[in-house]
Structures are given as structure tokens and as C-alpha cells.
Structure 1
Amino acid sequence: MMNWHEVDTYAKQWITEAGEKIRESFKEVLTIQTKSNADDLVTNMDKETEQFFIRNINHTYPSHKILGEEGFGHKLTDLEGIIWIIDPIDGTMNFVHQQRNFAISVAVFENGIGKLGYIYDVVHDELYHAIKGEGAYVNDARIPDLRDTNLSEAVIGINATWVTENTRINPQILAPLIKDVRGTRSYGSAALEIAYVVTGRLDAYMTMRLSSWDFAAGIVLIEEVGGRLTNLEGKPVNLLEENSVLVAKTKIHDEIISSYILKK
């Protein structure tokens, strides 16, 4: 049986070391490349950080599998066994342009069940972390369970770049929702925005397309505080493909889906 507290100790150590290396890189000239389009950036630090995690995981837990954004891990076709899901820098554009509003995201799943979750705000040195069944924390402070909020009092995070007429989140659906909530925000890092929902800084976050490394840690964290993370139809997300994502306090989660997204 896996000793999850031991894995937790290693994961925190590696995340801390990776964060230090990233902060040190602020003084250096980055090598910046594009991936799918001119706005989809990847830097040498994205690649070096993912490789840093892979070296340590392979050395310490050689039987574990790794799914990483930059593609240095395994090519997975199923969720059997223990899988580390890693985004070395979530919010690379913010990292490049702002040197803030980005995070390291790491999750560990066993046979499709989230066991450990970590979202590390590198600049602010805030580590959101959870072991399944033991509560969620930011650094040493336990995060209280979420309290339901009325939609009219809610602040929600929305990635507006995924609003298209070919999806169920189109302007005709989105406009009434934006009008009915208290306010909207966009931070440019899905992992951080999910962490903000976990802590109650946001009441919900929704976007049309995320990969598992963007939200896997958030699954573990949000479950520990009584919130929900699903796709925009209220169904479980698939860790092996891209998903729409809605993470929110329970009441708001259900209301957004029933009253706005799936409303006929």
C-alpha cells in the first residue's frame, strides 16, 4: 500500500525546489517558443521544470507514470496505476510578461482517483495542498469548507477567449450570467483560478477547454472543501482528454448549469 504522506513530503520538497529555480530565472533571459499558435508560449523554464520533476519521480518511484504538459512524460491510454499529472508553469504568458500570476500544478492519482493535489503560487510563496480525506491547506493554514453564496453576490472567473458560437457557452448564454453575478475576473492561470475558488476568493471558475494538467490538482483540492469540479454539462471530467470545466461552490455550480448552460 502506498504511503501517501511519504509521497506528500517528496512532492512538497520538489515543488519548493522548482519554485526557487523559477524565481531565480527572473534574472535571466528566457528562451521563448510558441506551440499551437503565437499566443501559446513555452519557455526553457517550462521544459526544465517538467524534466526536473520527471527525474526525481523516476528515481524515487520508478513504477509511477507521469503525464506532463510539455510531453516529457508517458503517453497514457488509461488511468491504471499511480500517475503524476504535472503542469510545470500554468500561466506561461503571465510568467513571460508579468513574472506573476502563474503556478506550478501537480497532482497524483491512483487508478483514476485523486490522492494528492498541489497548486503553488510561486511569486507569493503560497502552496495550496491536499491529501484526499485530510482537508485542504494553504501553507500551514487549513482552508475552511466553502459556504454557499447567492449568484447575485458571486464573483466568477471566466476565460472569455473560449467563447464561440460553436459551443454551449456562447454570448447568448454568457451575457445573462455576467449580468446576474456581482462581478467577473480573469487571471490567466486556470490552476490559480481554481485555487481561488477553493479558498473562496472566487465563487466559480469556468472555461471551455482545459487539459488535465490544468485542473487535476484542483479536483483533489475542491473535493476537500465541499465544492464541485465537472465539465459544463455537470458530468465528470476525463483526465485523458481536453474538457470544458466548471468549478464552483455547490449551489452556484448547479445553478449555473441548470439555469444558464443547459437551459432550453
Structure 2
Amino acid sequence: MEDLQTVHKKILDWLNEIVPTVKSDLSDDLTIETKLHRKDLVTNVDKKVQNFLVGKITEAYPTHLIVGEESQELTISDKREHVWVIDPIDGTTNFVKQKDHFCVLIAYYENDIGKLGYIFDVMNDDLYYAIENNGAFLNGEMIPAPEEISLQEGLISADVRHWYGKESFGRLAEESFDIRYFGCGGIDSIHVITGKFAAFATSQSGPWDLAAQLVFAKELGLEASRFDGGELHYLDHGDWVFANKGTYQDLLAILKDWNS
């Protein structure tokens, strides 16, 4: 296998090739389909980007496993020496309705260890990436570890659709400084990475929603776990929190009662 810097350069080339077409496709007629329900959308652009990335990965590394949100046939295996996790358009509803606040997510793992993570904020043309033992970067400039933020002073991003009416959501709104939510986990996570948000928490996710962020967490000293504080695996589904160290424990005290 090539060294990480060589793999990284290939990923940069792939993103620089496909991201401009995503922007241009916004002005074209989108083909929009639903998946599980009418608010669960997928477009021809999601599929186009995923097919492009799968093609590039397969061409360069034909033996590697790929886990992608928009391909049912790309399933998780017990053999995980080399695993890629991709979300071609994270925030598809935003892509369709706002033409903003969506991103491309890519992560690369070796033997279940996160090596590379990428979040491309398409409309701002900002590429965030993290490389194991080398730090995290924004457009090539190193990102400093965020200063610690307390829950009382921090903005918290929470998936309000699934929290509304819960006692724990009321506690979160009262005990944090305030609630924010972009509707795109990658964009919300960027705000945790840069210290603008104290935490991002969601009760529904898949591997493509969190695998890249786990690489950032390790490089920047951020916390990531299940709501109950349990260890988070990059191929997990369900609830998870991505948080500043100064917020994490107080936030978990609220999240443990999320189901009540």
C-alpha cells in the first residue's frame, strides 16, 4: 500500500475534478427520488459523485472495500484491511432546497484505524482534511485544536426533528448557550472542528456520517462517542456525539436520558 501522503494527493485530485461539476449541476434540472420516505431524498448528483469516487478508488485500489451511502451493493465486510467510507452529498435536502450547506465526505481506514478524513464544503470551496499523526487542515493550512468551551457558553447542534418534545431536548436548550442546526452533519461537524460549536449530536446516522469526523477527533483532541458514552466504531449506525472536551461530560449527562 502507498504511503498516506500519496493517497492524500490522489484524493485531492479526485475532489478537484468532481466538485466543480457538483456546482454546475445545481443549475441543471435535478432528478430527485425518495428512499425511505418523502423527506429522504437522493438525486442524480448523489449517484454521479458516488459512482465517480467508487470508480477512482476501484481503479487505484481494486482490492479495497468501499462503503457508500447510495449503493446498496457496497456492504460492510469482516475483512477490513483497507476500507473507504463515502457520502457523495451529505445534506441532500439542503442541496435540493437551499443549494447550500452540503458537503462531500470521504474517510480511509486501515485495519479499523482512521488514516484520512475529508469534509468538502462545496459552496464555500473549503476543504477540511485530517491525516493520522499529522493534524487537521483547512485548504492546506493547519487547524489549531479548539479551545475548551463549556456547555453553558457553547452553541450545540442537535437534530431537532428527532428531539422535539423530549425532556432531554428541553434540558439541552436550557443548559447550553443556544441550539443551532444546519441539517447537514458534515457542516455541523465543521463548526465543532473550528470551535464555533461546542458539540454536534444526532440520534440517527450511518458510517458515512461519522467516519471522517472520527479522524478529525483524534487529531484535534475532540470527543466522539455514543450518547451513553460508549465507544464509537466508524461503521456504527445510530446515535453519536462529536464534542469539545469542555462540553462533553455535561452533554453526556443530558444525552443519557435522550430516550425519556
TM-score normalised to the size of structure 2? 0.95
Alignment check: 8 A CA contact 2:151 2:175 kept: yes
Write the distance in 1 (CA, Å) between the matches of 2:150 and 2:17: 40
Match of 2:105 in 1: 105
Write the distance in 2 (CA, Å) between the matches of 1:94 and 1:114: 28
Match of 1:225 in 2: 220
Q: Which moved more, 1:199-208 or 1:68-77?
A: 68-77
CA positional deviation for 1:118: 0.1
Alignment length (residue pairs): 258
CA positional deviation for 1:138: 0.8
Indicate how the Cα distance of structure 1 residues 66 and 19 shifts in structure 2: closer, same or farther if over 3 A, else same.
same
Write the distance in 1 (CA, Å) between the matches of 2:225 and 2:79: 18
> Does residue 159 of structure 1 match 2:159?
yes
Match of 2:129 in 1: 129
Write the distance in 1 (CA, Å) between the matches of 2:10 and 2:179: 37
Match of 1:167 in 2: none
Alignment check: 8 A CA contact 1:51 1:72 kept: no
Alignment check: 8 A CA contact 2:149 2:245 kept: no
> Deviation string for 1:219-252 (max 9, x for gaps)?
1112211101111111122333412010001131
- 1:246 aligned residue (235, 241, 244): 241
CA positional deviation for 1:73: 5.7
Match of 2:184 in 1: 189
Cα RMSD (Å): 1.6
Q: Secondary structure at the match of 1:209?
A: coil
Write the distance in 1 (CA, Å) between the matches of 2:196 and 2:45: 29
Match of 1:78 in 2: 78
CA positional deviation for 1:262: 3.1
Match of 2:194 in 1: 199
Alignment check: 8 A CA contact 2:211 2:235 kept: no
Percent identity over the alignment? 32
> Deviation string for 1:68-120 (max 9, x for gaps)?
00016632232621111000000000000111000000000111111000000
Letter paired with 2:190:
A
Write the distance in 1 (CA, Å) between the matches of 2:28 and 2:58: 28
Alignment check: 8 A CA contact 2:35 2:41 kept: yes
**Structure 1 residues without counterparts, runs of 5 or longer:** 165-169
> Deviation string for 1:108-151 (max 9, x for gaps)?
01111110000000010000101111010111221111211121
Letter paired with 1:194:
S
Match of 1:212 in 2: 207
Q: Secondary structure at the match of 2:39?
A: coil
- Where in structure 2 are the equivalents of 1:13-162 lying within 5 Å? 13-71=13-71, 74-78=74-78, 80-162=80-162
Q: Secondary structure at the match of 1:149?
A: coil
Letter paired with 1:109:
Y
Structure 1 runs of 4+ off > 6 angstroms?
none
Alignment check: 8 A CA contact 2:107 2:117 kept: yes
Match of 1:260 in 2: 254
TM-score normalised to the size of structure 1? 0.93
